[in-house]
Structures are given as C-alpha cells and as structure tokens.
Amino acid sequence: MVLWYQGIFEQLENLRDSEQGAKMSAYMQNRFSFLGIPKPVLKQLIKPYLQISRKLEFDWEFVRLCWENPNREVQYVAVEYILLHEKQFLDTDIDKIRELITEKSWWETVDSLDCVAGTIVMKYPYLKEKMRQWSLSENLWLRRVAIDFQQKYKEKTDTALLEEIICNNFGSNEFFINKAIGWSLREYSKVNPEWVRGFVDRYRDVLSNLSIKEASKYL
C-alpha cells in the first residue's frame, strides 16, 4: 500500500541546508534541530501531499511520526496537516492535541494548536471545563492555550470563562502567560472594546504591564 505521504520525509531531507539550519536553531534558542528549510519552501513542498490527504481520513499515526522526528520542520508539516483537517476532529481528539502541546513545546507550534483546541471546544462546548482545568495546569503551554483558545470566537466569546481563566493566571512572571493574556484581550477588543476596557480597569492592579500594553492596542 502506498501511503499518501510516501516520500515526504526524504524530500525534506534532500533540502537540508546545515548552515541555514544552524541559524534557525539559534533563533529558537537551540531548543530544536532544523533542516534549514524556509517556511515558504516547506509549504510549497508539502502542498501536493496535503491535497491528497483532503480525500482521506485523518491519520494520527502520521502526526506521531512527525512529532517524533528530530527536525523541527517536520513538526511544522504535522501542524499544517492538522490545521487542514481540524474541522473533522471529535471531542476525544482534544487529548491528542494536548499531547502535542506538551511535547516539544514552544510558542510557534503551540500558537497554532490553540486555534485547533478552540475549534474542537466550539464544536463540543462541554470541553470548556477542560479549558478551565488547563488554565490551572502546572504546564505553562496548556495555560497559554486555555487563555487564547477563544481568539477566533469574536462575538461568540464566553466572557465569563475568559475572565475566569485570565484571573487564574494573575501573578505570573512568565512572559508567555502575560503575553497570552494581552493577546486574548486585544483580539476580543476588536469585537467588544467596552468589555475589554472595563476588564483592564477592574484588574489594572494585578495585570502585568505587558498584558495591559497588549490589551490596550486597539482601545
């Protein structure tokens, strides 16, 4: 049986640029190894594969293969594949997304997966409770996703939950948490600036300066 992604890893390896890969790794604080493939080139390479995958059932085994690969670009391939198919996901898939969030974690993959979590929760509202739990997790990336999962909800944003989750993360000195708080408020301010303005005023004494700065961008 010929798999839809047959040859993709070999093609990626053939584009290896060690010098560029070292620069990309340094940019990510040397947390990951990179092949050195620019994002536009990567997207162009995987485009025909993803087109084939549209006609097939989602394959979590492919995602795991990507996540276990030592090269960061291969995780990017998995993220693009997930984003293409996110509307197909069931409620049980939230736990698989959780695994990806907590493995090989850094902002560039997590900030794509938060939207996927948001899509699943929108489809299965009872999973809001899981987001509430994530907002209290010891894992900062789960907390970041809980803060930001509603970014695309616009007028459908559950403001009571947003407020609760943000309040659960007050007092953090973690840049990625305080930035996420500001981002979530900034995005919602495009729809309901009065609510965001009121929120910032109510909690000004406990919001970080970074969160206030980000939240106030469009106010």
Domains of the chain: 1-88 (1.25.10.90)
Report phi then psi at 132, rounded to 5: -60, -40
Max Cα distance, the chain (Å): 61
Amino acid, res. 86: E
> What mean pLDDT, rounded, does the chain reach?
96
89/115 Cα distance (integer angstroms): 13
Query: Is residue 50 within 8 Å of 81, Cβ to Cβ?
Result: yes
31/86 Cα distance (integer angstroms): 27
- pLDDT class for 177, splitting at 50, 70, 90? very high
Whether residue 75 has pLDDT greater than 60: yes
User: What pLDDT sits at residue 2?
Assistant: 62
The whole-number average pLDDT for the span 17-44 is 97
Structure-block tokens of residue 187: 């995005």
Structure-block tokens of residue 91: 């409620």
The whole-number average pLDDT for the span 179-202 is 98
Q: Is 156 exposed, middle or buried (0-12, 13-18, 19+ CB in 10 A)?
A: exposed
pLDDT digit string (tens) for 114-161?
999 999 999 999 999 999 999 999 999 999 999 999 999 999 999 999
